[in-house]
Amino acid sequence: MKWTIVAAVLLLAGCAQVDPGALPGDGRVDYQLGGAAPLADRVTVVARDRTDPPAAGAYSICYLNGFQTQPQEMDFWLDEHPDLLLRDSDGDPFIDPDWPDEVMFDTTTPDNREALADVIGEWIDGCAHDGYQAVEFDNLDTFTRSDGAITMDDNLALATLLVARAHDSGLAAAQKNSGEIGARGRDEVGFDFAVVEECHEFNECGEFAEVWGDGFIDIEYSDTSRYESMCDDPDLPPLAVLRDRDLSPSVDPVFCD
């Protein structure tokens, strides 16, 4: 099925989206956050960590952890920006219960959000400089795991700053997961498309299709999803892939076509 993410410039609720340019309307997608690897046949879209180079000849999406720390960057945040980390009732960094080696960012004040956008903005600019076409910001949904310390509006306010920085750098910006925000990511924040994990496994593909049509990417994982049921899902987007949970560069992706 042929599809496009957005028109060249689409104004939605005051948020200008950008033309993601060469994002293919067909082909295949791979998710290579575990390390860059040669592209499988017909892969036209690939996501990689910002520390890896984009893939030559493919629409490349740059992965950033936009709402909490990466494990290898904990010391950077503790040393350079400790005031931007969320704290628990004891004053200790608030550890994500789902990711025990990551700490949530404190997005609860405008000053904090501006400061976070400045730091992450340098990484966004780096993605553009390296030749990526788009960026995704992981863990938009930390508000669901923060025991009420962070609100949806807090994170959407930071997301709006990050998306604006991406657009200013000439990059499209992808919403990561977070189906609970509905159309707000598209209409208020200005995301251009979505990157979703396990929408088939959790029966959420239709939910994302209602907002994005075919304009979202899905990654399923082989330890929970079966190839046959995944590929029979009528709401699965054209760009979908079955990967190992570790996203190892030595394990081949599996496609539905």
Instruction: Tell me what pLDDT residue 117 has.
Output: 98
Give Cβ neighbours of residue 135 (< 8 Å, ≥ 6 apart): 61, 62, 63, 64, 124, 127, 166, 171, 172, 173, 174
Q: In angstroms, rounded to a whole number, what is the distance separating the alpha carbons of residues 216 and 208?
A: 8
Question: Is the model's pLDDT at 161 over the cut of 60?
Answer: yes
Classify residue 193 by burial, with Cβ atoms within 10 Å: 0-12, 13-18, 19+. Answer: buried
11: pLDDT strictly greater than 60: no
Domains (range + CATH), the chain: 11-243 (3.20.20.70)
Determine the Cα–Cα distance for residues 57 and 71; give it in Å rounded to an integer.
30
Pair 58, 44: CB distance under 8 Å: yes
Alpha-carbon gap, residue 223 to 244, rounded angstroms: 7
Helix or strand run (H / E) with residue 176: strand 172-176
Give the pLDDT score at 91.
95
Question: Which pLDDT band holds residue 146 (cuts at 50, 70, 90)?
Answer: very high
47 is written with which tokens?
């996501």
Percent of the chain with pLDDT over 70: 91
**Tell me, what's the pLDDT at 26?**
83
> Please, what is the average pLDDT of the chain?
91
Does residue 187 contact residue 175 with C-beta atoms inside 8 Å? no
pLDDT at 114 over 80: yes
Which one-letter amino acid corresponds to residue 255? F
Judged by average pLDDT, the poorest of 9-18, 22-31, 228-237 is 9-18
Q: pLDDT, tens digit, for every residue of 203-230?
A: 999 999 999 999 999 999 999 878 888 9
| Residue 5 pLDDT class (50, 70, 90 cuts) | very low
What pLDDT was estimated at residue 16?
41
Give the Cα separation of 2 and 25 in Å (integer): 5
DSSP per-residue letters across 41-66: TTEEEEEEETTSPPPTTSEEEEEEE-
Examine the pLDDT at 22 and tell me if it is beyond 80. no
Given a cut of 50, whether residue 126 has pLDDT beyond it is: yes
Q: Is the pLDDT of residue 4 over 60?
A: no
Q: What average pLDDT does the segment 111-140 reach?
A: 98
Q: Which residue has the tokens 């082909």?
A: 27
Gyration radius from the chain CA atoms: 17
DSSP state, residue 246: T
Residues 6+ apart with CB under 8 A from 257: 28
The 3-class secondary structure across 89-118, one letter per residue, is CCCCECEECCEEEEEEECCCCHHHHHHHHH
Note the pLDDT of residue 6: 36
Q: Residue 205 and residue 215: Cα distance in Å, rounded?
A: 11
Q: Residue 30 is which amino acid?
A: D
- Angle 144-149-154 from CA coordinates, rounded to 5°: 75
